[in-house]
Amino acid sequence: MNARALVSVGDIVNAEAEDYYRGGQVGVRHGDGDLHIRVTHVPMDAATWAGDWVTLRGVEMPPGQPERPEACFVVHARALPGFIPAPLS
């Protein structure tokens, strides 16, 4: 059985403020409320990626507002569509 990728182009990512940063690195500018993006680019190594944070490019889709230009975000793995929590031991 093939596992789903952590995130793929076209996925919709919904992240709470503490689960993302704007810009290309953690700590640059923490989120200003919930984030809703359509992913337009993922790193080449996304299929094997195993860290807590991943850099994505996407089009932000704020509720009730026009889409914003494509931008870079760093998103915590738990907010990504393919995230599967580790089993409790």
Structural domain contains residue 24: yes
Structural domain contains residue 55: yes
d(CA 68, CA 62): 8
Structural domain contains residue 56: yes
Structural domain contains residue 5: no
pTM above 0.75, yes or no: yes
Structural domain contains residue 6: no
Structural domain contains residue 32: yes
Which structural domain range is residue 20 located in? 12-79
The pLDDT tens digits of the residues spanning 3-51 come to 677 889 999 999 999 899 888 666 656 667 899 999 999 877 655 565 7
Instruction: Tell me how many domains the chain contains.
Output: 1
Strands, sheet with 29-30, edge to edge from the N-terminal-most edge strand: 12-15, 35-41, 53-60, 70-76, 20-22, 29-30
